[in-house]
């Protein structure tokens, strides 16, 4: 019984262990000389195979690799079996040729060779044999980019001229050039047509180039209200080319608000201030945006601001910006500013603008003070805007922002006109050091040039969106510059903490004041289902004045997308 059991085990092992009855085959390839064998060995090849068919396939592969290297006379002499597992393959590789001269006729567009690394003459070009295959692929790709995706290239009449040169004739098989006949948007069927033509620069009638189309649709990532969900596809028929784009509408409306509080120096009571910022984007499916902003601060100042942007009017590259701003200082004065601009979108990142504006300011107390008086002004505006988004990052959706504006005009006061110029700049940049660490740098500045000034026409700054640690709009100047810095550290994909280090300089020629300001603190951001929650604690000081913890500010804000 024991012998029978051992016999069964031997049978099972024989059946399930192929190494009991089969061994791999070993290959050794030799050339016609020692140098030829070294050339073959330099290519590298597999030397162990489970069967003869795979061994024979490897020999053929080595032959083709040698031909592509320039040994065009390579041939397999024989494959010889030495024993049960060892096989010798004998190849003749001959002399290596280095250059191929390819002739073309007058119908061939020689300009296609302009960016290819080849030697070009009047009716032929030369290329090394090792680069021949890649050159032909690149050339065929360039032909396809001209609207013929089904073109093919062939080399005919291949002949060996001498020991270093092969000649051939280039034959190009072309088809009907393709143009985009129709563009179909799937997923977000109401995607603004003007953005197809002007922003993505895709339109019917243009030459078909799939690589260029893919590059253009990458601009979806620079749109706040839509994103690409699938690579573009093309349907070819006998007489038409239909391009399919796959996109979906994203949540782009924002509601932002904050609550700030601090101790009033005069009453020693806590004062509250805050704002609401509502941004409505692409609700009419035209790519338009509307911003409603209201702010009330702790020193009895109210700001109401409305901005409307209507891009690509009537399908043109021209857009329209309209702005209304009303500022009221308790019962002292109120100022109303109106602006109308036409903008031109150079590309998805760059925009130029030009327009006109007017300002009307009223002295509500009707005093005889020379600091506050009724006036109105009219001016021309020129502006430039650059934006580099990173909408894939919900915590920091804008990587780089630059906005410059210049104003030229005059102010009318008591029947007298005074020429004035004004300049503003706002820019910020996020330097991504790695996945967790980044550095934020922001610069804001403005300058009003005039022979004399009124208090109700000067710039007002300070607070959460300016130099932190100071009351909102508590600083008055005809020239100022603010630098905000934050070192940011991500605790996770939804939480980050940051430092607050701010500095500012301002001049107020009306009261002959110049000063330097500093703000220090820390903050955190938390991405929740409700939106992006921010908390900032900061304290401000002027030059040569010590810090007072009682002057510290705490700001809380929540930005919600819907």
Topology of the domain comprising 254-561 = Porin (2.40.160)
Which range is least confidently modeled, 34-43, 174-183, 412-421?
174-183
The tens digit of pLDDT for each residue in 280-318 reads: 999 999 999 999 998 887 667 888 999 999 999 988 989
Phi, psi at 443, each rounded to 5° = -130, 125
pLDDT band for position 6 (cuts 50, 70, 90): very low
Domain 99-173: CATH architecture, name and number where available? Roll (3.10)
308-328: buried (b, 16+ CB within 10 Å) or exposed (e) per residue?
Answer: ebbbbeeeeeebbbebebebb
Which range is least confidently modeled, 229-243, 520-534, 537-551?
537-551
pLDDT band for position 236 (cuts 50, 70, 90): confident
Instruction: Decide if pLDDT at 16 tops 80.
Output: no
Which range is least confidently modeled, 30-34, 168-172, 261-265, 510-514?
261-265
Instruction: Decide if pLDDT at 487 tops 50.
Output: yes
The two structure tokens encoding residue 196:
């197809």
**Cβ atoms of 212 and 145 closer than 8 Å:** yes
The tens digit of pLDDT for each residue in 440-453 reads: 999 999 999 999 99
269-278: buried (b, 16+ CB within 10 Å) or exposed (e) per residue?
Answer: eebebbbebe
The predicted structure's pLDDT at residue 474:
87
Tell me the three state secondary structure of residue 112. helix
The predicted structure's pLDDT at residue 158:
78
Which range is least confidently modeled, 267-276, 365-374, 400-409?
267-276
Instruction: Decide if pLDDT at 135 tops 90.
Output: no
**Cβ atoms of 100 and 129 closer than 8 Å:** yes
Of 355, 354, 361, 353, which Cα lies nearest the Cα of 337? 361
The predicted structure's pLDDT at residue 249:
92
Instruction: Decide if pLDDT at 145 tops 80.
Output: no
The predicted structure's pLDDT at residue 265:
60
Greater pLDDT, 93 or 22: 93
Instruction: Decide if pLDDT at 110 tops 80.
Output: no
- Mean pLDDT within 456-466: 90
CATH code for the domain defined by 182-249: 3.10.20
pLDDT band for position 73 (cuts 50, 70, 90): confident
- Mean pLDDT within 228-234: 90
- Mean pLDDT within 510-534: 91
What percentage of the chain exceeds 90 in pLDDT? 46
- The end-to-end CA distance of the chain, in Å, is 80
Instruction: Decide if pLDDT at 126 tops 70.
Output: yes
Tell me which H or E stretch contains 53. Answer: helix 52-69
Phi, psi at 511, each rounded to 5° = -115, 15
Distance of alpha carbon 487 from the chain centroid? 23
- Mean pLDDT within 53-74: 89
pLDDT band for position 12 (cuts 50, 70, 90): very low
The two structure tokens encoding residue 391:
């909408």
| Long-range contacts of the stretch 513-520 (C-beta < 8 A, 24+) | 515/542, 515/543, 516/542, 516/543, 517/467, 517/470, 517/475, 517/541, 517/542, 517/543, 518/469, 518/542, 518/543, 519/467, 519/468, 519/469, 519/470, 520/469, 520/547
The predicted structure's pLDDT at residue 443:
97
**Cβ atoms of 484 and 318 closer than 8 Å:** no
Instruction: Decide if pLDDT at 11 tops 60.
Output: no
- For the chain, domain boundaries: 23-92, 99-173, 182-249, 254-561
The predicted structure's pLDDT at residue 121:
74
Task: Tell me the C-alpha distance between 418 and 377, whole Å.
Answer: 9
The tens digit of pLDDT for each residue in 254-282 reads: 888 766 655 566 666 666 667 788 999 99
CATH code for the domain defined by 23-92: 3.10.20.310
The predicted structure's pLDDT at residue 207:
85
pTM (predicted TM-score): 0.72
pLDDT band for position 162 (cuts 50, 70, 90): confident
Q: What is the DSSP letter of 484?
A: E
Phi, psi at 233, each rounded to 5° = -130, 160
Percent of residues in the chain assigned helix, strand, coil, to nearest 5: 15, 50, 30
pLDDT mean across residues, the chain: 86
- Mean pLDDT within 321-325: 96
The tens digit of pLDDT for each residue in 470-485 reads: 888 889 999 999 999 9
Instruction: Decide if pLDDT at 142 tops 80.
Output: no
| Long-range contacts of the stretch 490-497 (C-beta < 8 A, 24+) | 490/395, 490/435, 490/436, 490/437, 490/438, 493/395, 493/527, 494/395, 494/526, 494/527, 494/528, 495/524, 495/525, 495/526, 495/527, 496/395, 496/524, 496/525, 497/522, 497/523, 497/524, 497/525
pLDDT band for position 427 (cuts 50, 70, 90): very high
Greater pLDDT, 68 or 424: 424
The predicted structure's pLDDT at residue 513:
92
Instruction: Decide if pLDDT at 15 tops 50.
Output: no
- Mean pLDDT within 104-129: 74
Same fold, 99-173 and 182-249: yes
């Amino acid at each position: 019984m024991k012998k029978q059991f051992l016999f069964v085990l031997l049978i099972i092992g024989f059946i399930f262990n192929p190494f009991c009855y089969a061994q791999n085959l070993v290959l050794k390839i030799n050339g016609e000389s020692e140098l030829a064998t070294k050339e073959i060995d330099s290519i590298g090849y597999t030397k162990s195979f489970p069967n003869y068919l795979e061994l024979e396939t490897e020999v053929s592969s080595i032959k083709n690799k040698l031909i592509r290297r320039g040994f065009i006379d390579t041939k397999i002499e024989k494959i010889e079996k030495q024993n049960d597992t060892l096989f010798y393959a004998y190849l003749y590789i001959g002399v290596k040729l280095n250059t191929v001269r390819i002739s073309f006729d007058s119908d061939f567009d020689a300009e296609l060779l302009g960016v290819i690394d080849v030697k070009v003459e009047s009716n032929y070009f030369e290329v090394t044999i090792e680069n021949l295959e890649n050159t032909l692929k690149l050339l065929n790709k360039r032909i396809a980019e001209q609207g013929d995706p089904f073109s093919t290239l062939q080399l005919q009449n291949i002949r060996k001229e001498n020991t270093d040169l092969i000649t051939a004739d280039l034959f190009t098989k072309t088809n009907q050039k393709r143009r985009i006949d129709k563009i179909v948007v799937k997923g977000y069927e109401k995607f603004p047509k003007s953005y197809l033509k002007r922003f993505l620069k895709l339109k019917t009638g243009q030459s078909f180039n799939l690589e260029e189309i893919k590059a253009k649709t990458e601009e979806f990532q620079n749109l706040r209200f839509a994103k690409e969900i699938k690579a573009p596809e093309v349907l070819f028929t006998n007489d038409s080319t239909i391009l399919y784009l796959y996109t979906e509408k994203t949540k782009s409306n924002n509601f932002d608000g904050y609550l700030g509080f601090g101790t009033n120096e005069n009453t020693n009571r806590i004062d509250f201030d805050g704002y609401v910022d509502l941004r409505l984007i692409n609700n009419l499916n035209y790519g338009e945006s509307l911003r409603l902003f209201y702010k009330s601060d702790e020193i009895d100042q109210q700001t109401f601001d409305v901005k409307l942007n209507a891009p690509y009017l009537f399908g043109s590259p021209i857009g329209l910006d309209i702005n209304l701003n009303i500022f009221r200082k308790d019962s002292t004065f109120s100022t109303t500013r109106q602006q109308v601009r036409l903008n031109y979108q150079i590309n998805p990142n760059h925009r130029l603008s030009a327009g006109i504006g007017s300002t009307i300011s009223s002295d509500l107390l009707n005093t005889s003070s020379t600091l506050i008086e009724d006036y109105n002004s009219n001016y021309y505006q020129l502006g430039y805007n650059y934006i580099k988004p990173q909408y894939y990052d919900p915590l920091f959706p804008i990587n780089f922002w630059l906005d410059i504006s210049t104003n030229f005009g005059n102010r009318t006061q008591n029947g007298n006109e005074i020429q004035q110029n004004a300049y503003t700049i706002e820019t910020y940049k996020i330097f991504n050091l790695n996945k967790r660490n980044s550095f934020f740098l922001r610069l804001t500045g403005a300058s009003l040039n005039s022979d004399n000034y009124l208090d109700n026409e000067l710039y007002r700054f300070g607070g959460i969106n300016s130099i932190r640690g100071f009351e909102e709009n508590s600083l008055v100047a005809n020239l100022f510059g603010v630098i905000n810095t934050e070192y940011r550290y991500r605790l996770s994909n939804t939480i980050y903490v940051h430092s607050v280090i701010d500095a500012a300089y301002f001049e107020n020629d009306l009261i002959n004041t110049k000063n330097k300001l500093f703000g220090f603190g820390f903050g955190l951001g938390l991405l929740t289902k409700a939106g992006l929650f921010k908390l900032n604690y900061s304290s401000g000081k002027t030059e040569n004045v010590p810090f007072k913890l009682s002057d510290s500010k705490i700001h809380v804000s929540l930005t919600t997308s819907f």
